[in-house]
Amino acid sequence: MLFGKRYRYSPDGLLELAANLASAIPKPQRQALNALRKDRGLRDAVNLVVVAFEVADEQSEAGTFRGDPVELETLRPIAAIVARLGELRSTSDERARAAATTVLELLREEAPARGGSSPRRGLTSA
């Protein structure tokens, strides 16, 4: 991505992205929205985390989750990116609203389909 904020695809980079989306300051929020709009790799990473949390939540409910729940919870803000984008669709900032809508559409189009439970459940509720 040229002339913009670059986010790593690592958990730290995605947590930074989530924090910038949640910021009340417009500049980091716009940078995060633009990065998501332009970088399919970031959108893929977000979609992957959303699906991973759906699976982990289902396993937790069934009592079969074998991972570290504390470590998992530190990453939950990444899974909340989709919900934050949904909130930004109703913001008074027209550019942020348009960018959030575009990113949500791209995330929905690119989300991996899941067999079994409702596909893209986390992406349709935003």
Q: What is the pLDDT of residues 104-115, one digit of tens each?
A: 999 999 987 765
**Quick check: 28 and 20 in contact, CB under 8 A?**
yes
Rounded Cα distance between 6 and 25, Å, is 18
Confidence (pTM): 0.82
Cα 77 to its chain centre, rounded Å, is 8
Handedness of CA 126, 100, 48, 23 (dihedral sign): negative
Rounded Cα distance between 87 and 113, Å, is 24
Q: What is the pLDDT of residues 9-68, one digit of tens each?
A: 999 999 999 999 999 999 999 999 999 999 999 999 999 999 999 999 999 999 999 999
Over range 89-98, report the average pLDDT.
92
Nearest Cα neighbor of 56 from 73, 40, 39, 80 is 73
- pLDDT computed for residue 111 by the predictor: 86
